[in-house]
Structure 1
Amino acid sequence: MKVLIIGDIVGQPGRNILFKFLEKRKQNYDFIIVNGENSAGGFGINIKIAEQFFQRGADVITLGNHSWDKREIYPYINEHKNLIRPLNFAESAPGNGYTIVEKNGIKVAVINAQGKVFMPPIACPFLAVEEVLPKIKEETDIIILDFHGEATSEKQAMGWNLTGKVSVVYGTHTHTQTADERILPGGTAYISDVGMTGGHDGILGMNRRESIQKFKDGMPARYSVCEENPRINGIEVEIDEKTGKAISIERVNMGYDEV
């Protein structure tokens, strides 16, 4: 099966290029995952946008440290199992940290976890993922992890910790696509960060002027979404449906005219 995984979608520019891409190409994929935690104005996700993602072909939406920026999503995430937040959030938090979706007779598990290094205090993502794996494996061997973290070392550690146990480990959060995609021993596809879908002539999807000024003077700044040079970032992964092992991994990095 061929899986499309799209990196952090930032604001309307990110949504627009994603929708154009899916309109032309979604039929090429058996399963689609998008990270939507920055899709509503750069901070969080709302119900309207979540519905748009699902309607246009996303099978699962993952989140991250901006999961709760829009309060309206709290009851929605409890009712929609295919919108997931990091597994290692507090047990009392709304929603779930993983989901198992059956599509075309094949079950696919998607897990969302958040790193600890250079991130807000949170429970250990390694232990949280290891705890749920046995239960998930009772239903499927096709398991995909969105590891939302800052540090490349922590992401690589997660990849090696899970090699041969899951199909894909991919990083989100840094908004910068890395060039270290590979199949780890044991058949796990890995990349440190799938990148960002949005305006690439800003800074992490936001307009550069506010960010540069904040670096200069240290004063609070209100960020606005960058609309310059929208690009779509992600990966395509081929997975053996019988074994759950990854066969190939390729990066997606396209501008508006290439989609």
Structure 2
Amino acid sequence: MKVLILGDVFGRTGRRMVEQNIDTLRAKYAPDFMIANSENITGGKGPIEKHVLFMKELGFDVLTGGNHVFSNFKDSGDIFSDPLSIQIRPANYSEHQDYPIPGKGWKIIEKNGQKLLVINIMSGTFMNDSVDNPFQSIEKILSGITEKFDAIVVDFHRETTAELVNMAYFLDGKVSVVYGTHTHVQTNDERIFPKGTGMITDLGMTGPLWSSIGHTFESRLPKLLTGTKLFGPKAEQVVGEGVLTGIFVEIQAGKCVYIEKIRIQE
């Protein structure tokens, strides 16, 4: 099985980079499945319906989320309720029986005789959202699986590097690939753990190159200089030169046998 996975697609520039490069990536890698993180796809915030459909029309099978996944919820249409939607959200949100969280935290895709399970989880460290322990949550999800999959892929949306590396060790031999999203900075540590789990600490960002992880420097620098939000404009997305980042993996008998970092820069 061949899987192409793209880092956080950020706003207009990110969508353009995907659209402009997807045919080239398909020709080079011939992926059986394509995944991307969409939590910043609409103006740097969560997905709206038309942008999820945009990615689906380009051939993506699953879109994962993170702490911004519901930030455009009023314009999200049916993307969290339609069983045919490709959008999922972190599986480990803290739920209450009276207040169920919309959407699902995993998706099963079957194509050409192959079955892939994609799971989305999130850390609560340095995040505003309250979530259940991601290590215990993924363990519970995996222990409840009764059907067989050709591959299991995990998007771990987190801030710290240590969490991802420990998650890869924790899941080694239990899943095919675990990768990090959220920081928008691609790491240089892609590898395969001894029992066959491929990992990279962060996929990076598919979005504007000359930016503060997607936003203008002018809208981010005042807070960094003063420690307050008193100065500077509201965070604004950059529209300009782009970069596309991600990974390509090959999986055999549920184990990752090849992992390659991808970076295309204008």
Identity %, equivalent residues: 39
Q: Is the 8 A contact 2:207 2:214 kept in 1?
A: yes
Q: Which runs of 5+ in 2 are unaligned?
A: none
Q: What amino acid is the match of 2:46?
A: G
The residue correspondences of 1:21-60 to structure 2 (distance < 5 A) are 21-27=21-27, 28-60=30-62
- Aligned to 1:50, the other structure's residue is in SS state helix
Quote the residue 2:90 is aligned against. Answer: 86
Quote the residue 2:113 is aligned against. Answer: 105
- Aligned to 2:136, the other structure's residue is in SS state helix
- Aligned to 1:127, the other structure's residue is in SS state helix
Quote the residue 2:8 is aligned against. Answer: 8
Q: Is the 8 A contact 1:68 1:74 kept in 2?
A: no
Distance of 2:214 and 2:54 partners within structure 1: 20
The residue correspondences of 1:64-79 to structure 2 (distance < 5 A) are 64-70=66-72, 71-73=74-76, 75-79=78-82
Quote the residue 1:194 is aligned against. Answer: 203
TM-score, scaled relative to structure 1: 0.94
Q: Is the 8 A contact 1:117 1:154 kept in 2?
A: no
Give the length in aligned residue pairs.
254
Q: Is the 8 A contact 1:75 1:94 kept in 2?
A: no
RMSD (Å), alpha carbons: 1.4
Shift, 1:109, TM fit? 0.2
TM-score, scaled relative to structure 2: 0.91
Quote the residue 1:206 is aligned against. Answer: 215
Distance of 1:250 and 1:37 partners within structure 2: 23
- Aligned to 1:77, the other structure's residue is in SS state coil
Quote the residue 1:160 is aligned against. Answer: 169
- Aligned to 1:136, the other structure's residue is in SS state coil
Q: Is the 8 A contact 2:216 2:237 kept in 1?
A: yes
Distance of 1:64 and 1:72 partners within structure 2: 17
- Aligned to 1:33, the other structure's residue is in SS state strand
Shift, 1:219, TM fit? 2.1
Q: Is the 8 A contact 2:246 2:262 kept in 1?
A: yes
Distance of 1:115 and 1:74 partners within structure 2: 26
Shift, 1:66, TM fit? 0.4
Q: Is the 8 A contact 1:109 1:136 kept in 2?
A: no
Q: Which runs of 5+ in 1 are unaligned?
A: none
- Aligned to 1:67, the other structure's residue is in SS state coil
| Mean CA deviation greater in 126-135 or 21-30 | 21-30
